[in-house]
Amino acid sequence: QVQLVESGGGLVQAGGSLRLSCVASGSTVGIVTMAWYRQAPGKQRELVARIFSVGSTNYADSVKGRFTISRDNANTVYLQMNSLKPGDTAVYYCYANRIGLQYWGQGTQVTVSS
């Protein structure tokens, strides 16, 4: 089992920045992919950014150039969010894939005011 705990959400004005953190615990050996997803009210959950164990990344088109995903060890992943827009308002979820099993955090709210 893998447990994921997010932190760093909050309320910020448009144009501001936030940094989300996600710490994985439990059986973390073998985690291949970690990612951030988000879900806005009335919308489906969508991929924001993903980082693989080899370090490669990919991003949703809507956040390219503004968000950066990084991973400082096998257990912690970050999402640096700059130039935030009201459209970025959502609950952000941390995700991990380990040996074909998927794990989710409880989510952290990000609200961007105009």
pLDDT tens-digit map of 16-62: 999 999 999 998 888 889 999 999 999 999 999 999 988 899 999 99
* pLDDT above 70 as % of the chain: 99
Going by pLDDT thresholds of 50, 70 and 90, the confidence category of residue 92 is very high
**Selection from 106, 80, 84 nearest residue 94 by Cα:** 106
pLDDT at 54: 87
Look over the chain and give the mean of its residue pLDDT values, rounded to a whole number: 95
On whether the CB atoms of residues 86 and 14 are closer than 8 A, the answer is yes
On whether the CB atoms of residues 18 and 36 are closer than 8 A, the answer is no
Distance CA 43, CA 29 (A): 33
pLDDT at 88: 98
**Selection from 40, 23, 4 nearest residue 76 by Cα:** 23
On whether the CB atoms of residues 113 and 11 are closer than 8 A, the answer is yes
pLDDT at 51: 95
pLDDT at 78: 97
